[in-house]
Amino acid sequence: MTEVATSVVHEVLGPRFLEVDQPIIDYIINVLADEDFDFGDEGEGAFDAIGELLVGAECVSDFSECRLVCSKLSDKFGKHGLVKPKPTVRSLTTPFRMDDGMEEEVKKKKPEPIDGPVLTERDKMKIERRKRKDERQREAQFQMHLAEMEAVRAGMPAVCVTHDGGGGPNIKDIHLENFNISVGGRDLIVDGSVTLSFGRHYGLVGRNGTGKTTFLRYMALHAIDGIPRNCQILHVEQEVVGDDISALQCVLNSDFERTQLLEEEVRLHAQQRDLDFEDAAGNGKGDQIGTINKDAISQRLEEIYKRLELIDAYSAEARAASILAGLKPDVLLLDEPTNHLDLHAVLWLESYLVKWPKTFIVVSHAREFLNTVVTDILHLQGQKLTAYKGDYDTFERTREEQLKNQRKAVEANEKSRAHMQTFY
């Protein structure tokens, strides 16, 4: 599919497309080649997804030409069978034949002629080379993505256990107002405002490339005004690089004071052993200095033991295990959690999320999954974030009704304008 998409895009956009940076070319092709991508009527879906990028990359001169190009892309992709057909809706009053689809012989449709020249062997070799090049670039992009994830993870605020109290009030509703999110100079969300009500389950939807994953990352980083500092946020990303550290050890490592005291205790014991070894070896140099060092080490060790006892450090492992057993963040962020899961795992996840007592936001393209687990929909489109009550099917009906009302308002406005112009 990617090969044909590449050929169609190069054919429609012409020589100007060859002057565009390769990452932008790959992004446009991957968006259009997505099997779930909706081109919309006359390419409106393509215009919403990549229109701004085409104009910014100077593939087209202006937005008017961009609409024509997106319409042509929709036609070309349709002729190649790459446009996802819209499901037909049958009225309940329509008569139904019991033998529908049970004909003994199904007439085979003749393959429609492909619009465009037949590929020669040389062209096929070029496409094959380009395919291998694309695979290498995708691998390089994946490695770059892993590096970015490491950078993001390194920049995230550390989870730290304190022993001074003052945890702050319990987290309930979260109000995010007038926030902006941009990546590489490109605005993804402008003047965004949304209220996350406690205990509601939100499904974040929108076209690929609109900024859903970036929005979750900003939330996880507490980089949006309105998120309380004591709000515990757990972000489960699409791609996670694992290591050998156990979950129990991660919780223990978050107690910085305990970790530092234990490390200092080990260092001081090592210094004590070195001094004792020097004394046993009969090294008479610096006996007075050695005695002073031993006294200082013993005094510091006594201070460490008192502090460890005060913060109850020796029962930390048992307490960490109990924390893991009942750990529930204030906000849970899930990015495509059903990817690579089999049916049984998806059903288990659905059952778990339905019973989740606090707030979560999930990004998913699985309609049935969203209908099962969410109570609200956050729709990201045109740099705006809009909230809808109900599951995904309810959102689609509400959205369609809104678009229908907008079209009626535009038509009424045009009729009124035409009527007024008759008097001039």
d(CA 112, CA 360): 48
**Digit-coded pLDDT (tens) for 177-210:** 999 998 877 889 999 999 999 999 999 999 888 8
Query: Which span out of 56-65, 99-108, 110-119 was modeled with the highest average pLDDT?
Result: 56-65
**Band of residue 244 on the pLDDT scale cut at 50, 70, 90:** confident
**Band of residue 166 on the pLDDT scale cut at 50, 70, 90:** very low
Q: Judge contact between 193 and 176, C-beta under 8 A.
A: yes
Query: Is pLDDT above 90 for 334?
Result: yes
Q: What fold characterizes domain 174-232+329-404?
A: Rossmann fold (3.40.50)
What is the mean pLDDT of the segment spanning 246-273? Answer: 84
pLDDT at 177: 93
Query: Is pLDDT above 60 for 319?
Result: yes
| Residue partners of 392: CB distance under 8 A and separation at least 6 | 203, 205, 367, 370, 371, 374, 377
pLDDT at 320: 75
**Band of residue 274 on the pLDDT scale cut at 50, 70, 90:** confident
φ, ψ (nearest 5 deg) of residue 233: -120, 125
What is the mean pLDDT of the segment spanning 240-254? Answer: 74
pLDDT at 355: 93
pLDDT at 165: 47
pLDDT at 325: 64
Q: What percent of the chain lies above the pLDDT cut of 90?
A: 26
pLDDT at 105: 47
Average pLDDT of the chain is 80
**Digit-coded pLDDT (tens) for 355-365:** 999 999 999 99
pLDDT at 206: 92
Q: Taking the domains of the chain in order of start, what are their residue ranges?
A: 174-232+329-404, 247-324
Alpha carbon of 288 to those of 58, 112, 262, 295, 383: distances in Å? 79, 98, 28, 11, 72
**Digit-coded pLDDT (tens) for 109-148:** 555 555 555 667 777 787 888 888 878 877 776 666 566 5
| Residue 200 or residue 318, greater confidence | 200
Task: Answer whether 0.85 is exceeded by the pTM.
Answer: no
What is the mean pLDDT of the segment spanning 284-310? Answer: 78
What is the mean pLDDT of the segment spanning 205-227? Answer: 90
pLDDT at 163: 54
| Residue 250 or residue 311, greater confidence | 311
pLDDT at 400: 92
Running DSSP on this structure, what letter comes out for residue 19? G
Q: What percent of the chain lies above the pLDDT cut of 70?
A: 78
What is the mean pLDDT of the segment spanning 380-394? Answer: 93
**Band of residue 395 on the pLDDT scale cut at 50, 70, 90:** very high
pLDDT at 204: 96
**Band of residue 234 on the pLDDT scale cut at 50, 70, 90:** confident
| Residue 232 or residue 119, greater confidence | 232
pLDDT at 197: 94
pLDDT at 97: 57
**Band of residue 38 on the pLDDT scale cut at 50, 70, 90:** confident
Look at phi and psi of residue 14 and say left if phi exceeds 0, alpha if psi is from -120 to 50, else beta: left
Alpha carbon of 319 to those of 91, 315, 330: distances in Å? 60, 6, 20
Q: Judge contact between 28 and 9, C-beta under 8 A.
A: yes
**Band of residue 157 on the pLDDT scale cut at 50, 70, 90:** very low
φ, ψ (nearest 5 deg) of residue 361: -125, 130
